[in-house]
Amino acid sequence: MITVALAKGALLKDSVSRFEKAGLDFSSVLESGNRQLMVPSPCGRARALLVRNGDVPVYVAYGQAQLGVVGYDVLREQQMPLAQLVDLGFGECHMAVAVKNNSGYERAADLPPHCRVASKFTHCARSFFDGLELPVELVHLTGSVELGPMTGMTEAIVDLVATGRTLRDNGLVAIEELFHSTARLVGNPLALRMDRGELRAIIEAIRTEGNLSEGLI
């Protein structure tokens, strides 16, 4: 049986749509009364695991799911041993450095050495600032990182930005982009090597249906 790890939240609806077009129906996960975390498809040859976005790479890397859909931001942050198969194109956002709009900083390099920067994505942030050769103290937060600069705890944040509304509503502005992020179809490398064609057929159906290209980390 094929097992697919699907992220709850913003990516779920589009993820279900892509798999449905490839012949796997997981639409029951979108029903308002659904509380199941493991949902079989009507055809009986596949099932979906409903997990948090950040847990998708874990289930796929450990082989509990052969395929999964997850944001590129999570892949960059976690660096799990996965095969990145298709850039699905939805869930667009970007990772950015943001500061208070009256800070006077116009780019990340303007930040003072050894200042504090809040982020949920500390690996991505560390790689970025190391590339600038700018030493900073990273403060790991799991939510509402905007409060860092607002309270004066940090000079800046590194976070995902989609529309930018949350930043604007809290008096912040993005000053530099780290990378662009979209949803990616990922696979377990061992499962792909042992595949007799079934997984490849699903991958190609998803890629062909969306006229999508391969996405490589």
Q: Residues 32-73: pLDDT tens digits?
A: 877 888 888 887 789 999 999 999 999 999 999 999 999 999
Residue carrying structure tokens 């992220």: 7
> What is the C-alpha separation between 62 and 71, in angstroms, rounded?
18
Is residue 112 domain-shared with residue 54, that is, in the same domain?
A: no
10 Å Cβ neighbour count for 1?
9
- The answer to whether position 217 is within a domain reads no
pLDDT value of residue 141? 96
- The answer to whether position 122 is within a domain reads yes
202: helix, strand or coil: helix
Is residue 39 domain-shared with residue 65, that is, in the same domain?
A: yes
116: helix, strand or coil: strand
pLDDT value of residue 34? 77
> What is the C-alpha separation between 123 and 125, in angstroms, rounded?
5
Is residue 87 domain-shared with residue 6, that is, in the same domain?
A: yes
pLDDT value of residue 210? 56
Is residue 13 domain-shared with residue 82, that is, in the same domain?
A: yes
Is residue 81 domain-shared with residue 122, that is, in the same domain?
A: no
47: helix, strand or coil: strand
Which residues, 6 or more positions from 93, have their beta carbon under 8 angstroms from its beta carbon? 71, 73, 160, 161, 162, 180, 181
- The answer to whether position 199 is within a domain reads yes
- Given a cut of 50, the residues of the chain with pLDDT beneath it are 212-217
CB 149 within 8 A of CB 155: yes
Question: Rounded to 5, what percent of the chain is helix, strand, coil?
Answer: 35, 30, 40
- The answer to whether position 97 is within a domain reads yes
Helix axes 12-21, 198-210, angle to 10 degrees: 110
- The answer to whether position 60 is within a domain reads yes
pLDDT value of residue 214? 46
Q: Which domain holds residue 109?
A: 93-180
Q: How far is CA 187 from CA 59, 60, 164, in A?
A: 10, 6, 31
Q: Looking at residue 26, which CATH number applies to its domain?
A: 3.40.190.10
Is residue 107 domain-shared with residue 144, that is, in the same domain?
A: yes
Is residue 53 domain-shared with residue 34, that is, in the same domain?
A: yes
> What is the C-alpha separation between 84 and 203, in angstroms, rounded?
11
- The answer to whether position 216 is within a domain reads no
Is residue 40 domain-shared with residue 116, that is, in the same domain?
A: no
pTM of the model: 0.88
Is residue 41 domain-shared with residue 79, that is, in the same domain?
A: yes
Total of domains in the chain? 2
pLDDT value of residue 161? 95
- The answer to whether position 170 is within a domain reads yes
pLDDT value of residue 213? 45
Is residue 103 domain-shared with residue 151, that is, in the same domain?
A: yes
Is residue 122 domain-shared with residue 110, that is, in the same domain?
A: yes
pLDDT value of residue 212? 47
pLDDT value of residue 86? 96
Residue 80 structure tokens: 């799990």
